[in-house]
Amino acid sequence: MSNEWPLWEVFIRGSHGLNHRHVGSLHAPDAAMAIKNARDVYTRRNEGVSIWVVEARHIAASAPSDKGPFYEPSNAKVYRHPTFFDIPDEVGPM
């Protein structure tokens, strides 16, 4: 039996209207303590308004070796990117 607490990935929403962003990971015995630990470790300087935690083992990730087949085909398809429009200055940052 492992004496290590499970690893949790931490996602914090910086302000209302923004998405939760991955900020890091930490160890905790359960989800409630993981949220408390995230509060202490990642929001000390008023970074967040909402915290999500998920146990790292529940995250399914793509494999680095899939990089070629997964992503390279889209590089050659410039028409998928909306880069052919002139954005009026009045629009501001998009």
Partner 1 sequence: MERDAALFEYLLRLGDSTLILGQRVSEWCGHAPVLEEDIALANTALDLIGQTQLWLGLAGTVEGKGRDADRLAFHRDAWEFRNLLICERPNGDFGHTMMRQFLFDAYQSVLLGWLRGAAEPRVAEIAEKAAKEVAYHVERSGDTVIGLGDGTDESHARMQAALDALWPWVGEMFTGDAVEATLAAAGIAPDPADLRPEWDAIVRRVLGAATLTVPDSRFAHQGGKTGRMHTEELGHLLARMQWLQRAYPDATW
Residues in the site for partner 1, rule: CB under 8 A? 5, 26-29, 32-33, 36-37, 39-41, 44
Residue nearer to partner 1 on the CB measure, 41 or 54: 41
DSSP symbol at 18: S
Residue nearer to partner 1 on the CB measure, 13 or 39: 39
Question: Minimum Å distance from CB 93 to partner 1?
Answer: 35
Residue nearer to partner 1 on the CB measure, 1 or 91: 1
Q: Please give the radius of gyration of the chain, using alpha carbons only, rounded to the nearest integer.
A: 19
What's the rounded Cα separation, in Å, for the pair 70 and 84?
25
Question: Minimum Å distance from CB 33 to partner 1?
Answer: 7
Q: Are 35 and 51 in contact (CB under 8 A)?
A: yes
Question: Minimum Å distance from CB 36 to partner 1?
Answer: 6
Q: Are 7 and 37 in contact (CB under 8 A)?
A: no
Side-chain half-sphere CA neighbours of 80 within 13 A? 5
Residue nearer to partner 1 on the CB measure, 36 or 57: 36
